[in-house]
Amino acid sequence: MSAFADQMLLRFLQDAFVSDFLTNKIGLPVIFSAAYDLTDLELQELTLASVDRKIFQSPTFESIRITGSHERITPSSERSQMERQMKRYGRLVWAEVQLDLSLATKVHATAMPIDSIRTAELIADLGGVASLADLRTKLLVRYAPSVVDGMFQALRITTIEDFKERMNLLVQLFFKPAPPFDPNDPKNARTFPVTVCVKFQADLNISDALQTAKLCRAVMEKETDFNPALDGAEVKSPYVVVTVYPDSLVKDNAIPGLTAAQIRAQVQSLFAAEGMVADFFVGA
């Protein structure tokens, strides 16, 4: 481990290597999708704006949090809730290299703006009803049976008068199409921060590497206050953990029954399923 880690640490001293590693080896879309989830936005352009900070052998200590209650019987009975936090008393995790990045993007807002709102009495909009059974039949033309049944059950509708009193207002929202993407519109240019934590794994012990990566991310997330939403994107994690293996480890049957290509693909898929990244570095 020492020789591989030392060699990789020295490579990360070079700005050109860092830029190539992030942009070409890992891929900025992979990093972005591990950190953010876009709901009403579509990613159109993505570039590495800057590497704002580079830290080698970055430690994070887990804080110990204790919650409980304190009860006193005399002279009067009382109970109070207590919470204590002891910083730097818990587990220690390391990121061999920590890279604080700014990713420049151009996004297309796909949310459709409201065009108009229409309100009406629902029974009148249905063309009138003669009975509760007639009402249910006409509602089933518009809505799924589970919706109609849930409506009647939740509002305890047993008569037409119940329905008129509790559920007779129809509100319809009409939306305009989302505006087309304009790359020159300043509102579509947004910058997202991401911290990439690189860990080096000198052997092909996949279970240990995955456990170490997940523990590292969990402790670092726990010790960081971050906004779960940023500029229209949901923050999956402020930290993207990248585990780097030497590619020379990967040979046919290094994992019994798998070719070298299958090992690379399946290890990368395993880490991706956990929201992380695995890379096999050639030349180390």
Q: What is the mean pLDDT of the chain?
A: 91
d(CA 245, CA 209): 10
d(CA 202, CA 1): 5
How confident is the model over 198-211, as a mean pLDDT? 94
How confident is the model over 185-190, as a mean pLDDT? 92
Which phi and psi (to 5°) does residue 237 adopt? -160, 140
Quick: pLDDT tens for 101-152.
Answer: 999 999 998 888 888 999 988 889 988 888 999 989 999 999 999 999 998 8
Quick: pLDDT tens for 231-274.
Answer: 889 999 999 999 999 999 999 999 999 999 999 999 999 999 99
What is the reported pLDDT for 36? 95
Instruction: Measure the CA dihedral 19/21/26/28, to 10°.
Output: 0
Quick: pLDDT tens for 8-56.
Answer: 999 999 999 999 999 999 999 999 999 999 988 999 999 999 999 999 9
- Grade residue 208 by pLDDT with cuts at 50, 70 and 90: very high
What is the reported pLDDT for 275? 93
- Grade residue 1 by pLDDT with cuts at 50, 70 and 90: low
d(CA 284, CA 279): 12
- Grade residue 83 by pLDDT with cuts at 50, 70 and 90: confident
d(CA 219, CA 227): 17
- Grade residue 155 by pLDDT with cuts at 50, 70 and 90: confident
What is the reported pLDDT for 210? 96
What is the reported pLDDT for 196? 97
pTM (predicted TM-score): 0.76
- Grade residue 164 by pLDDT with cuts at 50, 70 and 90: confident
How confident is the model over 89-109, as a mean pLDDT? 93
Q: Which helix (H) or strand (E) element contains residue 47? A: strand 41-61
Quick: pLDDT tens for 218-238.
Answer: 999 999 888 888 888 999 999
| Residue 284 clears pLDDT 70, i.e. is over it | no
Amino acid at 257: G
Contacts of 49 (CB under 8 A, 6+ apart): 101, 102, 103, 104, 191
